[in-house]
């Protein structure tokens, strides 16, 4: 159910837990179904390589099993993946093979699935009339079988097929049947709209259903825009499923580095330090910018438009060449930005993602696990070898976020009576910034709980020395009062 509601992270975690249980119990059929389910989640998120890996895993396990439905269901999932990848010839061949599995079976659901993929394929091949017949049959089968979600998906694709044949009346009817006066529509409908958007585009101008269609397309577009971030989040959380390395691996904590296809880029690949700085500037900026805004942040000494234009053009050209992807920097109207739809992993994004999950987790052990994953990503200050003002501001923000995460982790470990680990977290914070008074305070409290009075005294003295040396101030009155209470 999580999958169909768009709660992909919860769905993937539930699938992985189920997969572990199925393997332990030797329940092979359940293992196959769950593996297919994991593939479906990835396919829906357009994570094609991971989806294909899961389907192949399911196929290997199912090999030799005499389970006709399982084989048919898997083949339909694989066909859907081919359609999403625009592999129409492969899809046509796979459908021919799958069709033989249901010739002697009177299953509305299976006939519905077959006609559904046939209709989508026909539409992609430009045969809208045939698509209408096939999708109509799919809709009938799903409706008679009581499968509302699949029925609604068929109606969305039917609307697209009718619109392509210029039968606007039937296209309107299909949209009206799906919406039915509802304010809220299911996630499954939005996914269908997202996948059929190329054939629905233009229907939003219709007098009768244009507003509703436009709203569906807008909401579906938002769903699609979230997919890259969700894909990367699932990759980080995966424990059972093998995830291939992303094409682009970016490290910004400590000394900055970028790997493309497993190759670590050197300064000769970037050609100049300035090009590498430009890459990280785009990556760290979450809104598109004009070339003038980029120049103001990175090359303030340039004040002539022609010089800005020439330098920007040359730097972006070298950046794209280093990354080996033209689309790494997007361009729309007069705005440029980093393409977040690429297959990449970025340690800062992962760090903040784990922190967000830690703050929303209800179980203390989950909170600890996510905080630990987050802080383990930090190997040094953000872009330690880049000195521009833009990097310094972000560096300070991330420094404070990292220290706060370490203290939160230490507090949680302290509550769990995991004293040594809590002290380690405090020590890590102090190694990063010796003036963090809260880390000394918590360390003293832990030592006191352990009955180690000498360590309480040593910690307070270390606090005094560090604060005096670094900022010329004594510990706060609150810290001093706590210290007196602890040693009395």
Last residue of a domain, one of 321, 342, 363: 342
- CA 428: distance to chain centroid? 29
Sequence-distant contacts of 325-333: CB under 8 A, at least 24 apart = 325/248, 328/248, 329/282, 330/288, 332/288
pLDDT at 213: 87
Digit-coded pLDDT (tens) for 70-129: 889 999 999 999 999 999 999 999 998 887 777 556 789 999 999 999 999 999 999 999
Kindly state whether residues 233 and 254 are assigned to the same domain.
no
pLDDT in tens, 302-318: 989 999 999 999 999 99
Q: What is the pLDDT of residue 184?
A: 79
pLDDT reported for residue 237: 85
**Predicted local confidence at residue 227, as pLDDT:** 93
| Three-class DSSP category at 263 | strand
- Residue at 350 is within a domain: no
Is residue 465 assigned to a domain?
no
User: 441 near 462, Cβ under 8 Å?
Assistant: no
Task: Note whether 191 and 75 are same-domain residues.
Answer: yes
CATH number at residue 282: 1.10.10.10
Domain count, the chain: 2
CA angle 345, 346, 351 (to 5 degrees): 120
Let me know whether 252 and 231 are in one domain: no
Same domain as 334, residue 199: no
Residue 377 located in a structural domain: no
Which residues are within 8 A (CB) of 281 and not within 5 positions of it... i.e. 6 or more apart?
294, 297, 298, 388, 390, 391
C-beta of residue 88 within 8 angstroms of C-beta of residue 96: no
pLDDT for residue 210:
82
- What CATH number does the domain containing 86 carry? 1.25.40.10
Identify the pLDDT of residue 99: 79
Residue 181 has a pLDDT of: 66
Looking at residue 94, its pLDDT comes to: 93
Q: Do residues 204 and 214 lie in contact, with contact meaning Cβ atoms separated by under 8 Å?
A: yes
Report angle CA 157, 125, 117 to the nearest 5 degrees: 45
Residue stretches of the chain with pLDDT short of 50? none
Task: Take residue 430 and report the two structure tokens written for it.
Answer: 């102090």
pLDDT at 105: 62
Which pLDDT score is estimated for 97? 85
Which residues in 256-290 are b (16+ Cβ under 10 Å) and which e? bebbbeeeebeeebbbeeebbbbbbbbbbbeebbe
- Same structural domain for residues 185 and 225? yes
Q: What is the pLDDT of residue 167?
A: 94
Domain that holds residue 88: 8-237
Q: Percentage helix, strand, coil, to 5, in the chain?
A: 70, 5, 25
3-state SS assignment for residue 253:
strand
């Amino acid at each position: 159910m999580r999958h169909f509601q768009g709660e992909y992270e919860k769905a993937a975690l539930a699938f992985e837990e189920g997969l572990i249980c199925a393997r332990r119990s030797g329940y092979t059929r359940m293992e196959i179904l769950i593996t297919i389910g994991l593939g479906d989640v990835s396919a829906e998120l357009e994570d094609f390589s991971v989806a294909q890996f899961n389907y192949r895993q399911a196929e290997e396990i199912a090999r030799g099993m005499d389970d006709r439905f399982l084989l048919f269901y898997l083949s339909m999932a694989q066909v859907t993946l081919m359609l999403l990848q625009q592999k129409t010839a492969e899809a046509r061949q796979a459908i021919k093979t799958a069709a033989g599995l249901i010739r002697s079976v009177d299953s509305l659901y299976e006939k519905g699935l077959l006609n559904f993929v046939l209709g989508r394929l026909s539409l992609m091949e430009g045969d809208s009339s045939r698509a209408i017949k096939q999708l109509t049959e799919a809709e009938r089968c799903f409706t008679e079988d009581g499968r509302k979600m699949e029925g609604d998906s068929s109606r969305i694709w039917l609307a697209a097929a009718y619109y392509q044949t210029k039968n606007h009346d039937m296209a309107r009817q299909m949209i009206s049947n799906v919406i039915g006066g509802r304010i809220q529509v299911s996630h499954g409908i939005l996914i269908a709209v997202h996948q059929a958007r190329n054939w629905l585009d233009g229907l939003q101008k219709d007098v009768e259903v244009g507003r509703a269609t436009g709203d569906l397309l807008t909401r579906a577009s938002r769903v699609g825009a979230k997919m890259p971030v969700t894909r990367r989040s699932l990759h980080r959380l995966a424990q059972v499923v093998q995830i291939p390395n992303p094409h682009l691996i970016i490290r910004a904590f400590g000394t900055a580095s970028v790997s493309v296809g497993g190759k670590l880029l050197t300064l000769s690949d970037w050609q100049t330090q300035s090009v590498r700085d430009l890459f990280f500037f785009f990556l760290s900026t979450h809104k598109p910018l004009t070339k003038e805004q980029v120049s103001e942040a990175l090359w303030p000494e340039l004040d002539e438009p022609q010089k800005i234009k020439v330098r920007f053009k040359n730097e972006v050209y070298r950046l794209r060449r280093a990354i080996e992807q033209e689309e790494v920097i997007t361009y729309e109207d007069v705005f440029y930005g980093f393409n977040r739809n690429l297959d990449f992993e970025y340690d800062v994004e992962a760090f903040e993602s784990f922190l967000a999950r830690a703050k929303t987790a209800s179980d203390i052990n989950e909170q600890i696990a996510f905080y630990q994953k987050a802080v383990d990503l930090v190997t040094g200050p953000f872009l330690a070898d880049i000195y521009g003002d833009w990097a310094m501001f972000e560096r300070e923000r991330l420094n404070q976020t990292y220290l706060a995460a370490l203290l939160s982790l230490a507090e949680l470990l302290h509550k769990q009576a995991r004293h040594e680990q809590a002290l380690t977290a405090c020590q890590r914070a102090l190694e990063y910034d010796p003036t963090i008074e809260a880390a000394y305070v918590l360390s003293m409290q832990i030592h006191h709980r352990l009955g180690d009075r000498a360590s309480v005294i040593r910690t307070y003295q270390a606090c005094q020395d560090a604060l005096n040396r670094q900022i010329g101030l004594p510990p706060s009155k609150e810290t001093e009062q706590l210290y007196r209470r602890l040693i009395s």
